[in-house]
A = this chain, B = another copy of it.
Amino acid sequence: MRATIVTIGDEILIGQIVDTNSGFIAKSLDRIGIEVHEMLSISDSQQHIFDTFSKLQDTVDVVIITGGLGPTKDDVTKKTFCDYFEDELVVDKAVLGHVTQLIEGYFKRKITQINKDQALVPSKATVFHNQYGTAPGLWMKKGDTVFVSLPGVPFEMKYLIENEIIPKLVKEYERPYILHKTILTYGQGESLVAERIEEWEDSLPAFIKLAYLPAYGKLRLRLTARGTDKKMLEETIAECVSSLDAIIHDIIVGFEEDETIELILGRMLSERNLSLSTAESCTGGKIAEMIASVPGASNYFKGSIVAYATDVKINVLGVSESVINEYSVVSAEVAKAMVLNVKTLLKTDYAIATTGNAGPAKGEATAEVGTVFIALATPNEILVEEFNFGQPREKVIDRASVKGLEMLLKEISKKEQ
């Protein structure tokens, strides 16, 4: 059972927006055992869409299309559906009622012809109600392939995938079982880990595939098993993970599919009843934002002082002016004072502080662009490290934020070994 995901829109092909819809759809299909064969982004042109449909028909079982369904003239998917399926557009009364209610009832505007046209659908299509927007989802079959068209607005698409498309696919198709297990490691590179687990990797059964997914300091190892015997797959994966854990236990930090460092830390802090604060200069609130993105963060995260300007470091965070003058604002001493003061002010067990130059200009500090001092306060001590994360600005901010969280993770883990 295979699917291809198609995204329609010139804005993707010129790099103006990044397609995140395909990833969401892929994950949803994967969970019900449908293999995503390819993802494809194509232009808004009717000819291009038509040709793509022709090529995909009978090569995969399902084609899921997003985009090109909006109310304006650059959206052409529905017309192409009519051409391809030799059909015509008709008014769907349920959709028209919903659009009218949404525009006149909710948005308190007069309904326009463009709004009304959203209720036009190919006469042979199965139509799915879009609770969050005006463009409905469509389902049409030709040959052995189902073509599903969804609006490109992410939360409208997500609603339809979760509530309509996945349930219908589950009901109508038999699917094999796909099982993934992700092992998250921190602190060692891809090559080194590969050498350590080479023997283990060579001994994996043929129906289990291993992938290395490296990113900023962390490395995820993903095992994928495919088959029909769910119990056997689960047992085999569990054995593989257990024998892997015996080899690289020192660097494994988690096993969840969507595990991130902020989720792991959240769990650790919550379980141990520890609290955290941050004092941020060059990261500008990014560390706080990452921590607060985790549901339940209020159990351990008390807050942050984003001391971007030097006078806020002095007047709000209480860093001594003479320390700043003596060592400069980007220095180990200032990072230490920031972390100690925020820990005291916000009354937390741990604190993280950053001061650095994210660029692009050198600014008032003498530090090179990319230089960041990160300080960590634990209940007993203050640690500080100097880094150079290079350029551009975005990378410096991201890396410094992740590194600050990694330093904390390392310290909390250490206490237990």
Contacts and interface: CB of A to CB of B under 8 A. Distances in A.
A297 B281 CA distance: 11
A38 interface: yes
A206 interface: no
A109 interface: yes
Contacts of A27: 14-16
A248 interface: no
A25 to B, nearest CB: 7
A345 to B, nearest CB: 6
Interface in A103-154: 103, 107, 109, 112-115, 134, 153
A39 B17 contact: no
Contacts of A311: 302, 347
Interface in A23-82: 23-28, 30, 35-44, 70-74
A39 B41 contact: yes
A41 B12 CA distance: 14
Nearest to A399: B155
Most chain B beta-carbon neighbours within 10 Å: one of A280, A284, A394: A284
A393 B308 contact: no
A193 to B, nearest CB: 8
A232 interface: no
A112 B190 contact: no
Given A195-B112, A212-B72, A293 B397 contact: yes
A246 interface: no
Q: Which of A14, A103, A112, A214 has the largest number of chain B CB atoms within 10 A?
A: A14
B303 A316 contact: yes
Q: How many copies does the complex hold?
A: 2
Please classify the interface of chain A as helix (H, G, I), strand (E, B), loop, or mixed, using the class held by over half of its residues. mixed
B292 A308 contact: yes
A377 interface: no
Interface stretch (A87-95, A264-272, A359-367): A359-367
A260 to B, nearest CB: 12
A296 B153 CA distance: 32
A249 to B, nearest CB: 20
Contacts of A113: 195
Interface residues of A, number: 105
A295 B70 CA distance: 35
Interface in A4-29: 9-20, 22-28
Leading 9 A-B pairs by shortest Cβ distance: A284-B292, A15-B27, A285-B288, A285-B285, A15-B26, A304-B306, A39-B41, A303-B312, A302-B309
Interface of A: 9-20, 22-28, 30, 35-44, 70-74, 103, 107, 109, 112-115, 134, 153, 155, 180, 182, 189-192, 194-195, 201, 209-215, 220, 222, 224, 257, 278, 280, 283-289, 291-293, 295-298, 301-309, 311-312, 315-316, 345-347, 359-361, 363, 393-395, 397
Given A289-B289, A303-B308, A304-B304, 11 more contacts: A16-B222, A19-B39, A74-B210, A112-B195, A283-B292, A285-B285, A288-B289, A295-B359, A298-B309, A302-B308, A302-B309
23 contacts: A12-B26, A13-B36, A13-B38, A14-B224, A15-B23, A19-B19, A44-B211, A109-B192, A114-B191, A114-B195, A278-B306, A284-B291, A284-B293, A285-B287, A286-B292, A288-B306, A292-B306, A297-B308, A298-B309, A302-B308, A303-B316, A305-B306, A315-B345
